[in-house]
Amino acid sequence: MLTSICAVIGFPLLGATINGLFGWKIKRKAHWVAVPAIALSAIFALRLFSQVLAGHTFVGDLYPWLVIGKLHVPIGFQLDQLSVFMITTVTFVATWIHIYSIGYMDHEPPMGYARYFCYLNMFVTFMLVLCLANNYVLMFVGWEGVGLCSYLLIGYWYEKASAANAGMKAFVVNRIGDFGFMIGLFLIYKFVGSLQFNDVFAHAHEITPAMATIITLLLFTGATGKSAQIPLYVWLPDAMEGPTPVSSLIHAATMVTAGVYMVSRSHALFNLAPLSMEVVATVGAATAFFAATMALVNNDLKRVLAYSTVSQLGYMFIGVGVGVYAAGIFHLMTHAFFKGLMFLTAGSVMHALHGELDMQKMGGLLKKMPITAITFIVGATAIAGIPPLAGFWSKDEILAGAFVHGHKVIWFVGTFTAFLTAFYMFRLIFLTFFGEPRDEHIHEIAHESPPVMTIPLIVLAIGSALVGFAAILPHGGVAGFLNHVLASGHHVAEAAEEGGGVEHMLMIISVIAGFAGVGLAASMYLKGVPNPKTLGSTFKPIYTLLYHKYYVDELYFFLFVNPLVGGSRQVLWKFVDVVLIDGTVNGVAKVCGWIGSGLRYIQTGVIAHYAIGILGGAVILYWLRLLFG
Amino acid sequence: MYHAISEYVPVLILLALAVGFGVVTLLVSFLVRPNDPYPDKLSPYECGIDPFTTGKLQIPVRFFVIVMLFLLFDVEAVFMYPWAAVYKKIGWYGFVEMFLFIVILLVGYIYAWAKGALEWE
Amino acid sequence: MTTVLPVPNLAAIGPEILVTVLACGLLLVDLFIPKDRKRAVGILALAGTVVTALFTMRYWNYSATTFSGMFVVDNFAVIFKEVFLFATAITILISLRYLEIEKVSLGEYYALMLFCTLGMMVMVSAADLVVIYIGLETMALSVYVLSGFMRFNVKSSEAALKYFLVGVFISGILLYGIALTYGVVGSTNLNAIAETIKLKGLKDNPVLMIAMFLLAAGFGLEIAMAPFHFWAPDVYEGSPTPVTAFISVAPKAAAFAALIRVFVVGIGLMAPHWQVLLWVIAALTMTIGNVTAALQSNVKRMLAYSSIAHAGYMLLGILAANTTGLAGVAFYFFAYAFMNMGAFGVIILLRREGIVGDEVDDFKGLAHTNPMAALLMVVFLLSLTGIPPTAGFIGKFLLFSAAIKAGFYWLVVIAVLNSVVSLFYYFRIAQAMYMGEAPDSSIPRPQGAPSLTVAIAIVGILTLFFGIYPHHLVELAKASVTTFIPFL
């Protein structure tokens, strides 16, 4: 099995190396390296999946990496139900996104083309390392690696200043989260003496509850950075500056889910810290709700999807936070399908409209690009939680879990968010694909994308429609499969038994919420305003009502979102980007120059000043030492 | 107490002799010499360098080179005195040691010579 | 009295003898090589350094004490000697072309570099405060001249003068510390010092405490840890870039090794005292180094401050005073030699006729003009930041986990926070390379001389290799500190 695992990781790594070193020569043919690499990886992943399904799991080391006293950190892998679930999802979705990229990146210059596929392969490599690692340090390698690739890919069009800055921002915000992760890691080492997952979880009970809370909160800090949760979500919407397949792969399907995976993987620790679980669930619910409200008003196709991603990640954290880890991971998987799909369709629209992203200028694209439109509708239906598509199953499991475990408020917020989700997704659909074209020129140039792009769309759409049924497979479905690892399943299962009747009621409520959202969107953006020009004057009350509705959204935006985004902007963007990153160019340069010229002015004294500084420092230090001593 | 001090008696005698020699010499010359002061003669360095001036005075770098070379070989010579004094005790090992020391300095000497450090022009 | 002096074990100082002969030989050979062929002296020096490095490897597990206990050869000394020789070899490689561009291609450069190496090698093998001092001075005198090697460049001369003045200061402080130690303990031999402190119960002696303090300050100045770091940025910026690369790694390593030997072996019993002292120094050093580095627009200056910060991380290893920590320091110096010399190598690559190439703006568009160099620079920057899978990450991990093990939680929090901050300024360079506008085509493209390219490639590969497969080097580093186990 170790060989197969190495093959899963090795093929993309090989692809990245070849394209990285010989990209200048391969140029346009880079996809002939990258796509087979990822496809082979996916095949091996599927093979491993079948093996795990047959009951074979694996934990083992490739070679010792770091051996420090009793601490043994190997390059080692852990293949169990959880990790195989992850890698299968990742490689499968990634393969189709690679194929899609061939069409999407068609207009790129040859060198950039090779570079793009090199990064893409490298990203998958690191993501697989993250998922397959059998210890925290190797996981951290993947964790940092995906962050780095994300930085490179967001900033892929570095000629655009906004893209370059967005890349930097993503990296920096992620590093803030990593700080928590690293400290948490060192504390685990201190209190358990090992960083191997198996050892840590076996000895987790030796940690005091207070320390477990601190450690898990620190780990969760890392997760908020990577998985774009409050307060570190700010980088994700900006990350849409990257090429759309990248948004699809990294910022929807894979990397952003790393936080959820990490928390699930560490469930043994989180179970010891009820307070941390509470925090995780609350942050998840808050993020789900706020991000959804942000998506309500945005007119940028990709940004709506970005906020929607943040919101859905919030759902996953609700799942892991209330203890239904399997549901969280299941939603991660279904989300990878439908959100990956929706980003790709958005890319297809962009591709057709030469980069146009403003929904207000679109409309009526259904006839022009039917495959794109239909696949998008499939994806949106899935995310809206309309049965029997994928999103319905996973979201329902999470919400039911929240309700059954007594988190009634979180359940309510989640259900309401489901309503909002359905609403903004269908608003997007109606504005983009239905109604009359609002911009003739844009409508003129619109065309269906080539098969190399539409086939991945169709595949993922089928996936989005069907993967949900995995929930009702025999042996407990996905939850039963994952609960081999996520052992907390014991009380989940019991709770589910007890609440059988309640669960059906909850299911009905969430379906109603979904349909209500769709209906409201339809009445507002489809039927309510068939022709804005005439109706604007004739049905003024309705128009103003709609306008007012819109205004409420805006108010919402200003009351809740703006201060939040603004606050983060003030702190993170202004401080980090402007002060620290562009700092030398602007204000700080002056200060430095001033200090410099000050020193130059008293040139003869400089060395003497240094000596005085050194002596002064020494005296203060000595004095400090006496104080301590 | 007595023993402790007695070891230093020769030092004390040497000190007295040294001070005495200086004092006597100055005293005798003061008494015997003719007194005829003029400015050039009163300057601290009769070779013409004014000691009270800014530090930015330009002095040919050759002076420094010569001084440094002198210092080096001076130290070498000084080092050889104690070596010679205990030569019998340290035997062949000491001989080889000093030989190596001189060889190393010789390398420096050859280098300085070849680079023209010994030529004034 | 017919006592014959004991003949020392000359085999133990084989590498030192080799370097001495080599350096003296180079001085003489240089006399016969015409001015436009000085590169040959460099190549000769390089060959000699490589031979010495290979020869020194044979001293692994050699373990000897000679010269009446003043000179020891243990694995710790050997591993650090390898760091110096490696740094010297890489420095020679990156110097060859640079010196020609700067029009100071002189044979003495290489001889001085070897004399400096000799001093450092003596320093790490010294088991006596006086021998440490001799090594330090041998090293320092050579470095002063090297940093002022571009005679006609005002900045370089200024750097040399400043370094010299500060160096004299170091000597004074260190000597005072040595004198006080001798005054209290009655010996300058490290083992004897440890013995006496133990027997007479001197570990809380106030005079010895001042001595400890002065020793820390003396080595601290050479290491450039805060608040003794003021000189470093000026000197690093003014010196010829290869020399900056060299002095940011090798002398620092030598001073660190000496500090470890003195503090762990000599005054190990005073650990509670010096741990408090080093705690404050480490926190200050990391923070000041990183925060100030973030404000620089000159890359050499930025790397100078960053090298101060790295010294702060490494202090964690000494502070922790356990095998992992000390091994971590040894490992980190290898990693640091790779990544820092690599980064300086790329700066040298940017040095062309008419372009100095050490401002952040000079890196703009390097990804277009020389993609391979830009890629390697990213590797070095990642490693400096401590992002896996690079050697820098492994080094930091060793140091931090050692400190955690020893219970210095808050210091580790500060250290991790600092390494997070460091991303901001390191990646300004990456941003300039990848996202900056490419300079117009009238400026010559940065194209490295073969020797420089080889050097950068070697350190780049090593940075990655020891990030992915560090096991053996970590094992060697751990084996190197077994000497200290009785003192821990």
**Each residue's pLDDT tens digit, C237-253:** 889 999 999 999 999 99
Q: What is the mean pLDDT of residues A311-334?
A: 90
Q: What residues of C are in contact with residue A10 (Cβ under 8 Å)?
A: none
Specify if B99 maps to a domain: yes
d(CA A54, CA A50): 6
Q: What residues of C are in contact with residue A75 (Cβ under 8 Å)?
A: 468
pTM exceeds 0.80 = yes
B55 interfaces chain C, CB cutoff of 8 Å:
no
Residue A554 has pLDDT above 50, yes or no: no
Cα angle vertex A312, ends A124, A245, to 5°? 35
Q: In chain C, what percentage of residues exceed pLDDT 90?
A: 48
Could you tell me the CA-to-CA distances from C67 to C9, C60, C62, C79, C196 in Å, in that order?
7, 19, 16, 21, 21
Q: In chain A, what percentage of residues exceed pLDDT 90?
A: 15
d(CA A18, CA A14): 6
d(CA A411, CA A417): 10
Q: How many contacts (CB atoms, under 8 Å) link B and C? A: 26
Specify if B10 maps to a domain: no
Tens-digit pLDDT profile for residues C414-469:
898 888 878 878 888 888 887 777 666 666 677 778 889 999 999 999 999 999 88
On whether the CB atoms of residues C320 and C402 are closer than 8 A, the answer is yes
Q: What residues of C are in contact with residue B93 (Cβ under 8 Å)?
A: 4-5, 7
The band of C6, judged by pLDDT with boundaries at 50, 70 and 90, is: confident
Indicate the burial class of A611 (C-beta count within 10 angstroms; 0-12, 13-18, 19 or more): middle
Cα angle vertex C334, ends C329, C339, to 5°? 115
Residues in Cβ contact with C169 at an 8 Å cutoff, skipping those fewer than 6 apart: A611, A614, C221
Q: Which of A38, A76, A74 is nearest to A249 (CA)?
A: A38
Give B107→chain C minimum CA distance, Å.
7
Could you tell me the CA-to-CA distances from C63 to A377, A505, C59, C128, C254 in Å, in that order?
75, 78, 8, 17, 19
C294 interfaces chain A, CB cutoff of 8 Å:
yes
Q: What is the mean pLDDT of residues A211-221?
A: 91
- Which among A164, A182, A621 is the nearest to C227, CB-wise? A621
d(CA C182, CA A70): 40
**Residues of C (130-169) whose Cβ lies below 8 Å from A:** 161-162, 165-166, 169
Specify if B61 maps to a domain: yes
Tokens, residue C279: 């705690």
Specify if B21 maps to a domain: no
Ranking A138-147, A305-314, C353-362 by mean pLDDT, the lowest is C353-362
The count of other CB atoms within 10 Å of the CB of residue A585 is 13
Q: What is the pLDDT of residue C179?
A: 93
Q: What is the pLDDT of residue C3?
A: 55
Q: What is the pLDDT of residue C84?
A: 95
A596 interfaces chain C, CB cutoff of 8 Å:
no
d(CA A326, CA A319): 8
d(CA A53, CA C480): 48
A583 interfaces chain C, CB cutoff of 8 Å:
yes
- Which among C2, C5, C24 is the nearest to B93, CB-wise? C5
Tens-digit pLDDT profile for residues A477-532:
777 788 777 765 444 444 454 556 777 788 888 888 888 888 877 777 777 654 44
Q: Contact C401/A71, CB-based, under 8 Å? A: yes
For A109-139, b/e burial (b = at least 16 CB within 10 A) is: eebbbbbbbbbbbbbbbbbbbbbbbbbbbbb
Q: Which of C116, C110, C82 is nearest to C96 (CA)?
A: C110
**DSSP-H helix ranges across C224-298:** 231-238, 241-260, 271-293
Domain that holds residue B65: 53-121
Q: What residues of A are in contact with residue C231 (Cβ under 8 Å)?
A: 610
Q: What is the pLDDT of residue B4?
A: 59
Tens-digit pLDDT profile for residues A339-374:
999 999 988 888 888 777 777 778 778 888 888 888
d(CA C148, CA C156): 5
Specify if B106 maps to a domain: yes
* Interface mutation target, options B107, B109, B110, chain C, most CBs of C under 10 Å: B107
Give C222→chain A minimum CA distance, Å.
12
* H/E element, A465: helix A451-466
Q: Which of C183, C130, C142, C101 is nearest to C19 (CA)?
A: C142
On whether the CB atoms of residues A150 and A142 are closer than 8 A, the answer is no
Residue A536 has pLDDT above 50, yes or no: no
Closest chain A residue to C212, measured at CA: A622
Q: Which of C414, C395, C376 is nearest to C334 (CA)?
A: C395
Q: What is the pLDDT of residue C4?
A: 57
What one-character-per-residue DSSP string does C385-454 give? Answer: HT-SSSHHHHHHHHHHHHHHHTT-HHHHHHHHHHHHHHHHHHHHHHHHHHHSPPPPTTSPPP---HHHHH
Give A90→chain C minimum CA distance, Å.
21
Specify if B112 maps to a domain: yes
On whether the CB atoms of residues A309 and A236 are closer than 8 A, the answer is yes
Q: What residues of C are in contact with residue A182 (Cβ under 8 Å)?
A: 400, 416
Q: Contact C276/A20, CB-based, under 8 Å? A: no
For chain C, the chains sharing at least 3 beta-carbon pairs closer than 8 angstroms are A, B
Ranking A76-90, A353-367, A459-473, C202-216 by mean pLDDT, the lowest is A353-367
On whether the CB atoms of residues A168 and C431 are closer than 8 A, the answer is yes
B112 interfaces chain C, CB cutoff of 8 Å:
no
On whether the CB atoms of residues C459 and C249 are closer than 8 A, the answer is no
Give B49→chain C minimum CA distance, Å.
25
Q: What is the mean pLDDT of residues C100-129?
A: 92
Give C391→chain A minimum CA distance, Å.
11
Specify if B77 maps to a domain: yes
Between C84 and A439, the more confident residue is C84
Q: What is the mean pLDDT of residues A86-95?
A: 92
Q: What is the pLDDT of residue A526?
A: 72
Task: Assign C32 to helix, strand or coil.
Answer: coil
Residue A590 has pLDDT above 60, yes or no: no
Highest mean pLDDT among A287-291, C50-54, C322-326, C484-488: C50-54
Q: What is the tally of structural domains in chain B? A: 1
Residues in Cβ contact with C466 at an 8 Å cutoff, skipping those fewer than 6 apart: C334, C335, C338, C391, C394, C473
Cis geometry, peptide bond prior to residue C389 (ω within 30 degrees of 0): yes
CATH at B102: 1.20.58.1610
Q: Contact B107/C28, CB-based, under 8 Å? A: yes
Between C317 and A492, the more confident residue is C317
Q: What residues of C are in contact with residue A141 (Cβ under 8 Å)?
A: 388-389, 393
Q: Contact C162/A592, CB-based, under 8 Å? A: no
Determine the distance from the C-alpha atom of residue C125 to the mean position of all C-alpha atoms in its chain, rounded to a whole number: 16
The band of B49, judged by pLDDT with boundaries at 50, 70 and 90, is: low
Helices A81-104 and A325-352: crossing angle in degrees, nearest 10, is: 0
Q: Which amino acid is at A382?
A: A
